[in-house]
Amino acid sequence: MPGQLRVGGRHGSWHDGPVIELDFLTMPHSTPKNFSLIAAIDLGSNSFHMVVAKANQGEIRILERLGEKVQLAAGIDEERQLTEESMQRGLDCLKRFAQLINGLPPGAVRIVGTNALREARNRNDFIHRAEEILGHPVEVISGREEARLIYLGVSHTLADTPGKRLVADIGGGSTEFIIGQRFEPLLRESLQMGCVSFTQRYFRDGKVTPARYAQAYTAARLEIMSIEHALHRLKWDEAIGSSGTIRAIGLALKANGYGAGEVNAEGLAWLKRKLFKLGDVEKIDFDGIKPDRRAIFPAGLAILEAIFDALELKR
């Protein structure tokens, strides 16, 4: 098994749209002759994404891609209720999305919610308000269905080779693991750990200490333990990181001389040491890390290091 995690697909390509994008836009029933425009919306735990495409005689042309950091998962309180503030952030985003899909007929738009909406006890309140804004139904998908869709999206950006692939995707509220071959997932798992939920739990005030980081890392290792045996039993030929968190870490390592965008254990150790010296997310100044990703960076790094150690992704 490989000693590093490759980021994205071939030639630097990157699938960073809605998790349902390729599934919806490539299915025959999505593009009947009377649908000249179709759209897919992903209500993620960290970000909301939308893609609008033109369908013409079986050909799909992307017209618009939009994405906003909403951090819905950050608004889930101790009673597993979405706060009004977090719901309003999401609804404000959807009002902007709605301007581009206004008038599209039923069936031309697919909208899915992922971990934050799976977890929130008052999700129906948010869903009802979202459907009023968008004019189309919202479907909350399971973790394993989310894993399947992630693998489909990633596999379409990679060279069609016969070897097995491990795909890891660190989301805002959950992390998905998939082992597959070509376009067929063989194993799909979704774990309750994400860069937003772990930030709320371990780095809420932005302070980063070795003790807090160790707590986040240990929690991630405990989550992964439940699937380690199954992953190692299937084995894989290459490992791919498909999330914005992993991409950001890869860019930071590349900018600081650690590889060409891939992630390795040596680079993760360097980032962790640097993070401890800074001690606060406001001081994060790594090249490649956007300001809006600083707050969730320590949690994402702890989860990714746990993945590396659990799956023995070392040189």
Residues 53 and 119 grouped into a single domain = yes
Q: What is the DSSP letter of 53?
A: E
Task: Determine the Cα–Cα distance for residues 207 and 93; give it in Å rounded to an integer.
Answer: 29
Give residue 79's identity as a one-letter amino acid code. E
Residues 45 and 82 grouped into a single domain = yes
Looking at residue 19, its pLDDT comes to 61
Based on the structure, what is the number of domains in the chain?
2
Q: Domain boundary at 118, 140, 162, which? A: 140
Task: Determine the Cα–Cα distance for residues 73 and 92; give it in Å rounded to an integer.
Answer: 16
Tell me if 220 is assigned to some domain. Answer: yes
Looking at residue 133, its pLDDT comes to 98
Residues 30 and 108 grouped into a single domain = yes
Residues 119 and 238 grouped into a single domain = no
Q: Domain boundary at 95, 111, 140, which? A: 140
Task: Determine the Cα–Cα distance for residues 112 and 129; give it in Å rounded to an integer.
Answer: 14
Q: Domain boundary at 110, 140, 170, which? A: 140
Tell me if 71 is assigned to some domain. Answer: yes
Residues 97 and 72 grouped into a single domain = yes
Tens-digit pLDDT profile for the chain (315 aa)?
556 677 764 333 334 556 655 565 555 444 444 578 899 999 999 999 999 998 777 677 889 999 999 999 999 999 999 999 999 999 999 999 999 999 999 889 999 999 999 999 999 999 999 999 999 999 999 999 999 999 988 888 887 888 999 999 999 999 999 999 998 999 999 999 999 999 999 999 999 999 999 999 999 999 999 999 999 999 999 999 988 899 999 989 988 888 777 898 999 999 999 999 999 999 998 887 888 899 999 999 999 999 999 998 864
Residues 61 and 203 grouped into a single domain = no
pTM for this one? 0.88
Task: Determine the Cα–Cα distance for residues 90 and 95; give it in Å rounded to an integer.
Answer: 9
- Helix 265-278 with 210-234: angle, nearest 10 deg: 160
Task: Determine the Cα–Cα distance for residues 198 and 196; give it in Å rounded to an integer.
Answer: 5
Residues 107 and 236 grouped into a single domain = no
Residues 176 and 295 grouped into a single domain = yes
Looking at residue 31, its pLDDT comes to 47
Tell me if 315 is assigned to some domain. Answer: no
| Structural domain containing residue 40 | 21-140
